[in-house]
């Protein structure tokens, strides 16, 4: 029953989110994998699940998969710059392919999928689209016409929660990166203060000046100074 499955999905995602909030460093690398793997139990007609991310430079990568087929499908999409997962990620809430053998969209993609994989049905949902980078949650089946309207409804629920988890993971990574940048800048400031006998404000202004004159990000200037100091010891 769809309602029961919907409640199951929401409960499981809530548990994953809670685990992430209490142990973000440990959960960040596994949370999307766990959610992707659990999706198979809610859409039993799917045998393979993956998350596709496409970047403005044309790269297509699989960031979480249940097995190797979603990776191969993403490689085919990258090769031909076309496919249902890419299109769903960029332009649609979801795309359903009932039969790869009969599909007339994305002819090069469909040809290679039919030749190289047993995949015959695809159900792809948009996760995000920002600054040219797009993402999709994709379900694949080895028989035609595998995904009915119930699968679409459940997939939309899973995609909504997966998008939430994705943003949480990215936010945590950005936060940790910001902390690391702050630490390296603090180390560089301390070195400059000690060497030139100046205060923290003057040291930071010197770092900024070095960044501007060399057209190099401030954190990279700080990292080079720290690495040079460590190497000189």
At 62-88, the pLDDT tens digits run 988 999 999 999 999 999 999 999 999
Q: Which of 166, 185, 202 is the last residue of a domain?
A: 166
Cβ(97)–Cβ(152) below 8 Å: no
Neighbours of 213 (CB within 10 A): 9
Higher pLDDT, 194 or 112: 112
Domain presence at residue 171: no
User: Given pLDDT bands bounded at 50, 70 and 90, which one contains residue 37?
Assistant: confident
Cβ(139)–Cβ(123) below 8 Å: yes
pTM of the model: 0.70
Most confident of 36-50, 51-65, 112-126, 175-189: 112-126
Lowest mean pLDDT, pick from 52-61, 90-99, 102-111, 178-187: 178-187
How many separate domains does the chain show?
A: 2
* Residue 48 belongs to domain spanning: 6-166
CA 152, CA 149: separation in Å to the nearest integer? 5
- Say whether both 27 and 99 belong to one domain: yes
User: Given pLDDT bands bounded at 50, 70 and 90, which one contains residue 173?
Assistant: low
Q: Which of 166, 190, 220 is the last residue of a domain?
A: 166
* Beta strands 60-65; 48-54: pairing state: antiparallel
Most confident of 18-32, 81-95, 177-191: 81-95
Domain presence at residue 106: yes
Across residues 121-146, what is the average pLDDT? 94
């Amino acid at each position: 029953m769809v309602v029961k499955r919907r409640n199951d999905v929401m409960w499981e995602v809530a548990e994953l989110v809670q685990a992430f909030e209490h142990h973000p460093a440990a959960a960040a690398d596994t949370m999307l994998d766990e959610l992707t793997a659990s999706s198979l139990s809610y859409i039993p007609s799917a045998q393979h699940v993956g998350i596709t991310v496409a970047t403005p430079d044309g790269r297509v990568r699989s960031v979480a998969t249940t097995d190797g087929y979603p990776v191969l499908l993403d490689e085919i999409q990258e090769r031909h710059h076309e496919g249902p997962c890419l299109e769903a990620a960029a332009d649609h809430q979801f795309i359903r392919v009932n039969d790869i053998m009969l599909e007339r969209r994305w002819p090069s993609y469909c040809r290679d999928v039919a030749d190289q994989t047993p995949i015959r049905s695809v159900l792809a949902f948009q996760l995000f689209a920002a600054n040219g980078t797009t993402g999709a949650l994709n379900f694949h089946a080895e028989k035609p016409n595998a995904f009915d309207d119930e699968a679409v409804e459940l997939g939309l629920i899973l995609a909504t929660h997966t998008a939430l988890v994705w943003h949480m993971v990215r936010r945590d990574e950005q936060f940790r990166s910001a902390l690391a940048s702050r630490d390296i800048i603090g180390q560089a400031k301390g070195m400059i203060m000690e060497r030139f006998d100046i205060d923290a404000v003057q040291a930071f202004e010197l770092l900024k000046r070095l960044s501007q004159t060399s057209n190099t990000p401030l954190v990279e200037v700080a990292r080079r100074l720290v690495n040079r100091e460590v190497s000189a010891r």
